Structure 1
């Protein structure tokens, strides 16, 4: 059974505020400035995005740094840690590590996945984090065998454990084998390693079961709105009742714009529709989206979990073409305010 599920303001005050570095500005925006804005806005931790690290390394080296120059990237990660220390921030997690599980034994793809593991371990230790985020793979060409997925992730956990590192596994809603919270949770449960948790996400949860960017309505097909909502609430109730609080690594927050016209139901540039939706159409909560963010957040909090709540948005505007004149300092403050508004909305007790 879950822990204390009463959503009092006192208990919700224990939530730690985090922000994904990739969600404030662009990799070309100076990382020190972005980190200063996040610290000033009240965030205490960050998710460090690999592209941001690579961009920062390129600035330090005065050249384009490749994504497998592990020693150079690790030195840059040490520099990022110094920036964080100066701003009283901490790197909570390194992300996003994808397309790991399911590759055939002896394949070049599997060798590449394990090479990346070793490189990311070196970076994680240099920047001072103890956790890697792994997204459920979206490779369409693999014949998925669930036993293989579990075996691969178990091996990854065991390798990470040798360096006292952890893994938090996220259901990407466009994944080929684990698009829902339940599919990802059952994998985490069956991997059965102390250093593996599930990474829940308001966008990924609602975006896999309640919303669909390829439909004019923006919603998954259902006999009626009531049937859809009851089905989704039933899924959230199951989450609250079955996922132990101590197996939730963190909760990521974002909303989504309803895409008009809808996205084509096909893979474009290697991304399925929900992947493209995720890449460009994810604003802050209360900023023009339509997903039931409060509903998902309450379900997670009802497990008794009170951990790291992290903003991860990719806001290119309702048309996905980008926004102009975004002041990063203001955006960071708006993000902190949106999280507080969300927590207030989730609280059971009155002010």
Structure 2
């Protein structure tokens, strides 16, 4: 996972949700804007397959060809949701993982992203979760077909994860899994939204910051510097969030009744996430310290993927070309701010 410099990518899910925002348009916009890589969002692959009457495996192979022709590396296939701690038989989940591995190899990527589980009917028993994630990692290391490489898994702590919502949790579990192909996907939104922001109430008071939020974020980042092995960082996802004018509770435009069981960070995630430092759209997260640690002080180099989830992505006018340019402009702000190459 080591690299000599940060390499810029973007997630296809961050390039539009309107039916006209096809995967072909997204990949073309990524190539023309000058990104190095892309995260392929699994539902985008499924839609692409349906539109072209292809099997998922055929679609993955075609996507790989399009990316190679556009000089785009595929950072990862994502996400493999709700894998560890589920009540379903492990072998059933491993069979789904085998499909993802086949798709990843067909498109030419070595990485699959695995978020922490958010299914309410799941167990938080850490010994079981670690054992299941070891089985997943070992599946990726099984002797691949001739000429193909092992698959790595990037573990991400979701802010609304029911058992492991914190970056500290993800770091601890990755260490316990203790497999060379099992590491971390670190996401600014999930860290800051969980420990610093308060979409439930404080946003309504006009601050958007949880009581003690700055201290909690500092403690989190201090522990990161002490406890996170740099070689276990597989890639980063960078995003910001829109300040909320009202508490994100029932009655708010962003609130989804079917998600009532989950933390408000889940509702906020698909309603108001932005690219870093997009203050012109209401972005307000305190990104300076976390980005300085991740991009400079930790000494880590590798993939940096721009990510946003925003209600405007449903608009036909806010399409791949517009969003690719916005993400790239955000990265230029970061590079200038921290003196990156």
TM class by shorter chain equals 0.7 to 0.9
State the TM-score, normalized to the length of structure 1. Answer: 0.85
Q: Is 306-315 or 261-270 further displaced after alignment?
A: 261-270
Distance 1:34 1:228 in 2: 36
Residue of structure 1 equivalent to 2:311? 316
Once the two structures are superposed, the pairs formed by residues 213-292 of structure 1 within 5 Å of their partners are 213-217=199-203, 219=208, 221-222=210-211, 227-264=212-249, 268-270=257-259, 272=262, 273-287=264-278, 288-292=282-286
Is this contact kept in 1: 2:31–2:71, CA < 8 A? Answer: yes
Once the two structures are superposed, the pairs formed by residues 1-351 of structure 1 within 5 Å of their partners are 14-26=5-17, 28=19, 29-61=21-53, 72-104=55-87, 107=88, 110-162=90-142, 163=144, 164-217=150-203, 219=208, 221-222=210-211, 227-264=212-249, 268-270=257-259, 272=262, 273-287=264-278, 288-301=282-295, 302-317=297-312, 323=315, 325-347=317-339
Deviations 1:239-275 (Å, cap 9, x if unpaired)? 1232121110111011111223222279832462211
Is this contact kept in 1: 2:16–2:323, CA < 8 A? Answer: no
**Residue 111 of structure 1: how far off its partner (Å):** 4.5
Residue of structure 2 equivalent to 1:7? none
Is this contact kept in 2: 1:27–1:52, CA < 8 A? Answer: no
Aligned residue pairs, count: 320
- Please state whether the residue corresponding to 1:314 is helix, strand or coil: coil
Is this contact kept in 2: 1:203–1:293, CA < 8 A? Answer: no
**Residue 219 of structure 1: how far off its partner (Å):** 4.1
Is this contact kept in 2: 1:21–1:48, CA < 8 A? Answer: yes
> In the superposition, relative to structure 1, how do residues 305 and 27 fare at CA in structure 2: closer, same or farther (>3 Å)?
farther
**In angstroms, what is the RMSD of aligned CA positions?**
2.3
> In the superposition, relative to structure 1, how do residues 215 and 94 fare at CA in structure 2: closer, same or farther (>3 Å)?
same
5+ long unaligned stretches in structure 2? 145-149
Residue of structure 1 equivalent to 2:147? none
- Please state whether the residue corresponding to 1:309 is helix, strand or coil: strand
Is this contact kept in 2: 1:132–1:166, CA < 8 A? Answer: yes
